[in-house]
Every structure is written in C-alpha cells, then in structure tokens.
Amino acid sequence: MSESLERYEAEKQENYQARFNKLQISLEEDDIKGFREDFLDMHTYEQASFFREQPVELRRWIYGYLSPAEFAEIIESMDFEETLEYFTEMDPQYSGAIMTELPVDDAVDILSLLEKDEVASFLTLMDQESAEEIKLLLNYEEKTAGSIMTTEFIALYDTQTVEQVMKLLKEEAPDAEMIYYLYVVDEAKKIVGVLSIRDLIVSDYDALIKDVMSEWVITVSAGKNQEEVAQLFMDYDFLAVPVVDFQNHLIGIITVDDILDVVDEEASEDYSKLAGVADGEHHTDTPFEAAKKRLPWLIILLFLGLFTASLIGQFEETLEQVAVLAIFIPLIAGMAGNTGTQSLAVAVRGLATGNFGKQGKFKWLLRELGTGMITGGVSGVILAIVIFIWQQNLVLGLLVGVSIFASLIVATIAGAFIPILMDRLKIDPAVASGPFITTLNDITSILIYFGMATSFMSYLV
C-alpha cells in the first residue's frame, strides 16, 4: 500500500513538473495562445507557484498575457504582503484594474499595507463604485469585524417569494462573495433572518421568504475584535457571519476564508510575542529593520539578566565556601525556564481559544499546580540520585533535588498565572513572552537554590 502511494506521489510530482516545463517553454518562446491554454487550465495555487518562480522580466510578460480579472484570481492565492512587490512591477492602470477585480475585502487587506499616498493613487485608478466601497472599509479600525468583512453579498427582503429570489440569484450570484447563506432584511434594511440555499431550493416557488427563513441568526458588530469573530466561527462551524451596525442594519458579511487568514495572522502574532519578537517583523525586513524591532525586548531582558547576575553576586560568600554549587546554576535555571514556557504556551492557547470557560481558570491553575509537583518531584528525585552517585554527597544531592522540586512548582504556576492576570487586566497574554517568563523564573529559581544552600551551609562544608 505504501509503495503504491509513493509511486502515485512520484507520478503526480513528475506530471506537475512536466506541466511547469511546458509552460516555461511557451513563456520563453512568446507563445501566448499555448501559454494561456495551459496556464488557465491549472489551479490558481499552481498558477501562483509558477508565477513566483519567474524572474522579473518574464513576470512582466505574464502581466501582458493575462487580463486583470484572471490575474486577480492568482493574487487571491498569495500572501498579500508578498503581492506588494508585484504591484510595483505592473503598469499603474493594470494594477488599478486588478484592485477593481479583487473581492473588496481582499483589496482592503492589500491597501491597508500601503502608505496613505499610495492608497490614494490606487483609488484614483479604480472605478468609482469599487473605490467608494474600499474607502468605507478602510475607515474601520484595524483587526475588527468591519475591517475584514466584504460588502459583496446578497440580501433578501422577507416579503419576496422563493421564485423571485431564485431569479435574483441567477443575476447577482456571480458577483457575490458567497451564497451558501442568504441573509434576510426588512424594509429598514435590518437583519431579521437567514436562509440556506438548500432550504430555498426545497421550498415552494410561491412561498414567502419570511415563512421559510430561520429567525435565529447570529450577528457580529462592526467593531468586534477579529479574534472573537474567529472564535465564533470555530464554536458554530459557520461558513459566514453577517456584520451589523449599532442599529442592526446589515452592512457586510465575513466568510470562512477570511477567518482562516485571521487565525493564521493571530497565531503568527502570538508566536512572535512568545519568542519576544515584534509581531510586525517580516521576512522582507532588512537586518537593520529586524534588529530595530527585536532590540526593545532584548534590552529589557538584558537588564533583567544583569539583575539576575547581581542576585548571584549576593551569594558570593556561599559560593566561595561551596564552589560546586555553581555547577548546578544553569541546570536549575534552565529547567525552571523550560517548565514556565511550557505552562505559558498552554495558558496563552487556552485563553485564545476560550477553552477555560468562566470557572475553568481556577481549576486549570490547580491542575498546573499538580503538574508542577509531579514534574518537580520526578526531576528532583532523579537529580538527587545522580548527584549523590557523582559527587558522593547526599546533602548536596538533596539540596539540588529539593531546589528543582520547588523551582518547577513556582515556574509552572508563574507560567500559568501571569497570562491569566494579563488577560484580566485587558493586556494581550502573549506579551508574557517566553524570554520574559524564562528570565523571571531564573530569578526565582536562583533565590530558592541559594536561599536553601545558605540555610544548610553547615551541612555542605
């Protein structure tokens, strides 16, 4: 079975490469007809992959081979930050036409990455209707439901019949972002219900929409945070959610493909913060730009490290009498830092997904306390035995073992509690980054270790 699968994958890759090679020949020989025929037969993901491989000179040829509408479909398969380079290569009129062809929400995502004067230039190149829609969405605060919604949707009136709606769909569906859900409004444009395509198809032609729709409809306000909207999609397995203003007027919809982008963006942002890296850092940044974004955290950690060093200096007398204690400083500090980071990662993830619930945070802290006691106990016993065999000193082994036990408990609780505290204070929990927690646990573990060593000095000398 595995051999057949490997053979199938090898054949698929071979066919894939053969298609790319054929396209490359058509492009280099300026065979427009042959190129278009093979290129447009490919999936947009494959089109984007082929396009990326081309040098600037050949990419410019491709712009001439494809209409703005055809290239707009390729843009939708790319990372929007990546597309900025391509827009600078295009003829301004061509790039403006592509912006017009893109779904409004995608065009807004791209334009939000540009400077104000660049945005203004694009808007003047677009048709007036598209430009006005984009201006409206650009006014919404970043990372809110309004900033990621699209205005390309079909709204029904509750007084329409099924037959009227079917005719309407044939006319307007090609321009809509998605039609799996149809949202129903009253005469005042306030949302009153939702209707699925399946319910529409199985209903009688003369039935009124208000009789076949569902009045149970979940909406989000335009100002709602995009993370909360993403959680709503995950909780209910929605394909789309309507966006309303403060008077419950339907102003747009958010589709699942946009939410996938949000989830990816938020995950990348949280990962960056956990690593102590600015979430605005991109792979295209110069070394100077990258260093500028990383330095603030590093400088903070540098001073925390100096504090840790000065803390060790306070126990200089203890170290002079029992120099062997210095051997285990990196071990204890490292174990505490690693344990705290593990607990931190789980806490941030739980807060982001809402898995803790209202009463779950306290129970989870108790669970982390138990986890810290078990991991600390096992690590402490193992370390005590190893040190006793290695150094032939039972007291030293017990000292290090008990220090590890206490340090891991404190580190686990700190890694869990600090994100919860930050969340309660309305601060992003991911700000409690891995390096920050690690340094904090270094300090506490050293205090525990040398505090115990100083107390039991008479047994060590």
What residue segments make up the domains of the chain, in order of their start?
Answer: 2-139, 155-256, 287-460
State the SS3 of the chain: CHHHHHHHHHHHHHHHHHHHHHHHHHHHCCCHHHHHHHHCCCCHHHHHHHHHCCCHHHHHHHHHHCCHHHHHHHHCCCCHHHHHHHHHHCCHHHHHHHHHHCCHHHHHHHHCCCCHHHHHHHHHHCCHHHHHHHHHHHCCCCCEHHHHCECCCCEEECCCEHHHHHHHHHHHHHHCCCCCEEEEECCCCEEEEEEEHHHHHHCCCCCEHHHHCECCCCCEECCCEHHHHHHHHHHHCCCEEEEECCCCEEEEEEEHHHHHHHHHHHHHHHHHHHCCCCCCCCCCCCHHHHHHHHHHHHHHHHHHHHHHHHHHHCCHHHHHHCHHHHHHHHHHHHHHHHHHHHHHHHHHHHHHHCCCCCCHHHHHHHHHHHHHHHHHHHHHHHHHHHHHHHHCCHHHHHHHHHHHHHHHHHHHHHHHHHHHHHHHCCCCHHHCCHHHHHHHHHHHHHHHHHHHHHHCHHHHC
* Residue 198, CA atoms < 13 Å, CB-side half-sphere: 1
pLDDT at residue 16 in the model: 77
Most confident of 12-16, 18-22, 151-155, 217-221: 217-221
Q: What is the mean pLDDT of the chain?
A: 84
Arithmetic mean of pLDDT, 256-274 = 75
Residue 294 structure tokens: 């990383």
Q: Looking at per-residue confidence, does 346 or 459 come out higher?
A: 346
State residue 277's pLDDT score: 57
* Per-residue pLDDT at 334 exceeds 60: yes
Separation CA 269–CA 389 (nearest Å): 46
User: Is 81's pLDDT higher than 70?
Assistant: yes
pLDDT for residue 386 is more than 70: yes
Task: For residue range 107-164, list pLDDT tens digits in order.
Answer: 888 998 888 888 888 888 888 888 888 888 888 988 899 989 988 888 899 999 999 9
CATH 1.10.10.60 fits 287-460, yes or no: no
What confidence tier does 209 reach under pLDDT thresholds 50, 70, 90?
very high
- Return the CATH superfamily for domain 2-139: MgtE N-terminal domain-like (1.25.60.10)
Averaged pLDDT, 300-310: 75
User: What is the signed CA dihedral for 245, 248, 249, 255, rounded to 10 degrees?
Assistant: 70
Question: For 63-67, 111-115, 183-187, 212-216, which range has the lowest pLDDT when averaged over its residues?
Answer: 111-115
440 is written with which tokens?
A: 């904090």
Could you read off the pLDDT of 25-62 as tens digits, one per residue? 989 888 999 999 999 999 998 999 999 999 999 999 99
Q: Residue for token digits 């996938």? A: 260
Q: What is the pTM of this model?
A: 0.64
221 contact partners, CB below 8 Å, separation of at least 6: 145, 243, 244, 245, 246
| pLDDT higher than threshold 70 for residue 278 | no
What is the CATH T-level fold of the domain 155-256, as seen in this structure? CBS-domain (3.10.580)
Which is more confident, 2 or 98? 98
